[in-house]
Chain A
Amino acid sequence: MSTINVKVAAVEEVTPLIKHFRLESEDGADLPPFSGGSHIVVTMDAEGRTYRNPYSLMGSPSDTRAYHISVRRQESSRGGSVFMHERVQVGMRLKITHPVNLFSLSKLAHKHILIAGGIGITPFMSQIEDLKAVDADYELHYAFRSYEQAAFVNELEEKCEGKLYCYADSQNERIDLTELLRHQPLGTHVYVCGPSPMVVAVLETARNLGWPENNIHHEEFSAPPVGEPFKVQLARSGIEVEVPAEMSMLEAIEEAGVAADSLCRGGVCGRCELTVLETDGGIQHHDHYLSDSEKVSCRSIMPCVSRTKGKRLVVDL
């Protein structure tokens, strides 16, 4: 995948847990244009291993002089977010991918309901710019732990002009999803980005109320879940790769020097799908791409997030 060389132009601590990075191209040229909801994958070369983490672009799509990303320090980080927090400083060089949008706004929608949980606010920051540009009807519902820990609330209040609704867990404020989704006019689309339980709750509520699949959009940047170590055999290349507990199968394959295809690295897009030839313990599917019946069949695996429960897996790669 072609990469762009960027330098870190600014680093700002937004909250004790969230840092905001401004990235500019190394040669000072404009960066490729993007649409609201796009993300990039940042490659980090730490000693002994490479991290590739996806981050939403949160700047205005009309400004291509710089890309803006925000990184939350993950409590159970496998290393990527800690690297971004502790090691990345102004002037440092990073490699990023071209922007990809797997969470784009529907142009057919008459109204947009955006639901964010915590750091899941980032893709909406650029989407709001797109919505404002066409004067679209929208509401932003932003849930977080507390006002002290919430990022960009003031900035959003100013941008959204009364269309922002905040919910602080510390003050026992919760989004009543059924109430919110029950009374929306025809042609409304709902978008959710946040922690997994929140995404699942929004998807289930909308589906139970009879919302068509086309009107429901979600994005989830969860780190690949940690599991038991196992061995994966790449049948075509004849290579055996050890997958450690805290590394995803995709990362381990890449580390072994095999250029596996991938895009979102979050189990959503389906690009990294591999055919399973053999498994001795079944698959732990963590993706949102395969259908339930495909998951049961164990014929495919999304190596960016999924693992095996067994000791050994053979894939067609």
Chain B
Amino acid sequence: MERGYWIKSKPIYTSLTWHEKATSHLVLATGIGGMAVLKLFQQMHPTQPVTVLYGKYGQIELDYSDTLKSIIQDDLHLYKFEEDLLKKLQVLLRDATMGLRIYVAGSEGFIWDVVAAAKPFGIQESEIMKEQVDTLARTVYCVHCKTITKYVTTNITCCNGCERMLFVRDHFSRNLGAYMGLMVDAESPGELPAIEEIYP
């Protein structure tokens, strides 16, 4: 990335720490995000009720399910599939009240899937504490055909929808949970810069 250059829309992630002021806490994590949860539980435990949803999916990802089970005395739910975790999230949010604080740790894709699931409940993304772990792979939105291509690890990628070669920008849409992808060879078809894996 160029020095001194920054696109404001590019999200900045933090490491999870408990909110001191809350009425309840909800922690969501997948894969290596389990380590972020373990780190969170190294901190002083909140006095309010805590619920943890953890998903182990993806074949090669590390699985923290057993460690979490032995460490976490609170309400812990384990899932094999992200869809099931997100369904449970929606069930919990339906009855939740103001004062619930939400924490997410996982890939950027998972973080913004949670944001999207919480949005219909009136939760703004800025309220959700987010820790990015594991991969830097980007979700890319094709500004030409509107198709979303997931798990992009290279600076230039082929759109899943229109097969244009897209340059992956830092410009991020919180609404779509995706980076903007623009056709890279529109002016000189077929002339592509070197394709490199920069979001491993």
Return the CB mask of B168-187 against A: 1 if under 8 Å, else 0: 00000000000000000000
Interface flag for B127 (CB, 8 Å) = yes
A185 to B126, CA, bound (A): 18
Q: Is the CB of B99 within 8 A of A182?
A: yes
With A182-B23, A186-B93 in contact, do A210 and B99 touch (Cβ < 8 Å)?
A: yes
Closest residue to B19 on the A side, CB-wise? Answer: A210
With A210-B19, A210-B21, A210-B22 in contact, do A184 and B98 touch (Cβ < 8 Å)?
A: yes
Q: Is the CB of A184 within 8 A of B124?
A: no
B-chain residues with CB within 8 Å of residue A185 when the two chains form the complex: 96-98, 122
A-chain residues with CB within 8 Å of residue B100 when the two chains form the complex: 186, 210
- A-B pair count, CB < 8 Å, reads 53
- Contact count band on B: 10 to 19
Interface flag for B13 (CB, 8 Å) = no
Interface of B is mostly: loop
Closest residue to B118 on the A side, CB-wise? Answer: A186
Q: Is the CB of B98 within 8 A of A209?
A: yes
- Contact count band on A: 10 to 19
B-chain residues with CB within 8 Å of residue A209 when the two chains form the complex: 21-23, 98-99
27 A-B contact pairs sorted by A residue (CB < 8 Å): A108-B122, A108-B124, A181-B98, A184-B98, A185-B97, A185-B98, A186-B93, A186-B97, A186-B121, A186-B122, A186-B123, A187-B122, A188-B98, A207-B21, A209-B21, A209-B98, A210-B19, A210-B21, A210-B22, A210-B98, A210-B99, A210-B100, A212-B124, A212-B127, A214-B124, A214-B126, A214-B127
B-binding residues in A (CB < 8 A): 108-110, 181-188, 207-212, 214-215
A-binding residues in B (CB < 8 A): 19, 21-23, 93, 96-101, 121-124, 126-127
